[in-house]
Amino acid sequence: MTEANDQAPAAALEPLPSDPNASYSKDYWDLVLDQLLKHGLFKAGLAVLALLYGLAIFAPLISNDRPYKLVAIDYGAYESSLRGVGVLAGQAVDALVEAEDPAAAADKVSRNVSAVSTRLDVMERYLPESEVEPLDAYEADLVAALAAAESGAPLSEEAGAELIARGREIATAYRPIRHDALDAEDEASAAGKRLVPHTSYPLPASLHWFSVFFMVLWLVWASFPLWNSLWNQGLLEGHKERIRRARSAKWGVLLGVPLLVAIAWGVLGTGDGGAFDVAPYKQGLTKGTIVPVEAPLLAPITYGYAELHKEESFRPPTWQRNAQLDTDGRYIHGLRQAKPDTVTGYLPPAVPTEVRFGEPWPNAPHRHLAGTDELGRDFFVRMLWGGRVSLAVGIVSAILLTVIGVVMGAIAGYFGGWVDSAIMRLIEILQSIPAFFLILATMAFTDPDVVPPIIAIVVVIALVRWTGAARLVRGEFLRLREQEFVVASRALGFSSARTIFRHVLPNAMSPVLVNAAFSVAAGILTESAVSFLGFGVSHPDASWGSLVNESRSPDHWWIQVFPGLLIFLTVTCYNLVGDAVRDALDPKMKV
């Protein structure tokens, strides 16, 4: 009796065939999945949602101003480090020589010595191995002087003067020779060091392990229909225990593989993945301070999330005729053409469009597919990155409110009595207050410096809108709590928690899943509305709702149209998925 109940829902597993090697029949959720796959609108909606989530998750790889791979000599970083070595080392040595209390001075000097070490590491990256030894020796002597000061031994003036002289010698002897700016004869006679190219992977190195987890998670889940079929054919044959382990292993693959990859990525060492970290690579490649030896491998869209082109402020999508510019940066067609003032005849000066390394030419149709915002940032890139916020808020708030609603509804429906009455009165109080205005009021009094707006929106949506899920679960528990398997569980002495969450709840999950799908759509709409009104995600962060608020002028129509279409498309697809799930879980709809 208990073994059968452990396999809830009630229609879980059919009896095993007599032949242990015969194919085992599908369980309840496999039948539901088959029913969903026969639903055309469900497949269409799920495909669109998978695409939208994929674009949002892989936004750092799709649109970025960092190269995937760069084999180059960064003369700018080398020369900056070379200048810094002499200055910082001189300051550190002077402080140690003049200090009356060497141990106290060492605490302040340690930062300078650490900065010198960092700059020497940058220099060694572009130097041949034969030229590295003097730099390592100089760094070792600085560290030794610092260690002696920490132990109370002062640095003599002679030793300090020697260290300063060696630093000046390094600054002179290690000047770089620009092989790309000199002809063969000048390069042969030039004084300095000939640098060697360094291979780096700036874009992958900037990815946070959290982003890698969701990238792998999306790939595993997107390929689930392919490997699930092979899994069922190859593993779901044989004895019952083997079948149970194989089904549990599916969830291990779906969640475990992404987690293992993310942990390995974090152990290897990555960047912080900051969206607002303006990378120097494109500017360096444009100005020539970074000289590539091989063609850099760039992202498909070579604009960064926070990269500015102020000369292209509020430029329409470049596939439009009225977005074309002349060489001076003035519009050629349409109402945006610059005209002299009718009274003074003054014509504002034009600013030519700057074409940076890897960018399309100014009038290329694909230069700005969705136009630009007030600061000249590519609006298509902003929408890609903004989708990470809007989609995450929708799904996380739906999960959180479902968990709260399931727990509260299960307690109310299972125990009944005064517990049920108290929870229902709380639900009625919350439902008597307009949810949207309650969310606005809460966000208005939330300090964004204390609680990030994204987290605040998720928590507020969940705390306000869990009541619908709770009422659904309560109704199902009132129907199921007198069933035979619940009575048997009580009679066997099982705890209330085990009876609720292991036996009753799996049989009450059908309406909860449907409600969760609709809750995601509601969460996206709520976040968009709150951000549009200025109480949610605000500049410089972006979400689809806040992007709509970038401009309210009808002349900048792309600011309202494109994010609005994405919100409409996402909400519509979630509603289609919710309808399909409801039909698949309804026995009356099955043929």
The pLDDT, as a whole number, for residue 49 is 93
Percent of the chain with pLDDT over 70: 83
Q: Is 97 exposed, middle or buried (0-12, 13-18, 19+ CB in 10 A)?
A: buried
Q: What is the DSSP letter of 18?
A: S
Neighbour order of strands in the sheet with 198-200? 198-200, 70-74, 290-292
Average pLDDT over residues 372-377: 91
Choice among 366-375, 483-492, 580-589 with the minimum mean pLDDT: 580-589
3-state helix, strand, coil in the chain (%, to 5): 65, 5, 30
The pLDDT, as a whole number, for residue 130 is 85
Q: Which of 586, 587, 431, 578 is nearest to 42 (CA)?
A: 578
The pLDDT, as a whole number, for residue 182 is 53
| Most confident by average pLDDT, 207-211, 268-272, 552-556, 573-577 | 573-577
Residue type, 330: R
CA atoms within 13 A on the CB side of 524: 27
Compute the distance between CA of residue 204 and CA of residue 64 in angstroms, rounded to an integer: 11
Compute the distance between CA of residue 578 and CA of residue 520 in angstroms, rounded to an integer: 10
The pLDDT, as a whole number, for residue 84 is 85
Whether the predicted pLDDT of 367 surpasses 80: yes
Choice among 235-244, 247-256, 527-536 with the minimum mean pLDDT: 235-244
- All structural domains of the chain: 73-189 (1.20.120), 208-270 (no CATH), 383-589 (1.10.3720.10)
Helices (H), 99-223: 102-125, 133-150, 157-173, 184-189, 202-206, 209-222
Q: What is the DSSP letter of 20?
A: T
Average pLDDT over residues 370-382: 93
The pLDDT, as a whole number, for residue 12 is 37
CB 533 within 8 A of CB 463: no
Cα distances from 314 to residues 308, 318, 347, 370, 377, in angstroms, run: 12, 11, 19, 10, 9
What the block records as the tokens of 163 is: 């260290």
SS3 292: strand
Cα torsion through 441, 442, 443, 449, rounded to 10: 140
The pLDDT, as a whole number, for residue 73 is 92
What the block records as the tokens of 229 is: 């079929």
Strand partners, 297: 69
H or E, element range at 198: strand 198-200
Compute the distance between CA of residue 450 and CA of residue 457 in angstroms, rounded to an integer: 13
Whether the predicted pLDDT of 180 surpasses 70: no
The pLDDT, as a whole number, for residue 192 is 77
Compute the distance between CA of residue 378 and CA of residue 48 in angstroms, rounded to an integer: 23
Whether the predicted pLDDT of 69 surpasses 90: yes
Average pLDDT over residues 451-459: 85
Exposure class string for 168-181: b at 16+ Cβ within 10 A, else e: eebbeebebbbeee
Q: How confident is the model at residue 559 (pLDDT cuts 50, 70, 90)?
A: very high
Q: How confident is the model at residue 435 (pLDDT cuts 50, 70, 90)?
A: confident
For the stretch 72-96, pLDDT in tens is: 999 998 998 888 888 888 777 777 7
Q: Is 554 exposed, middle or buried (0-12, 13-18, 19+ CB in 10 A)?
A: exposed
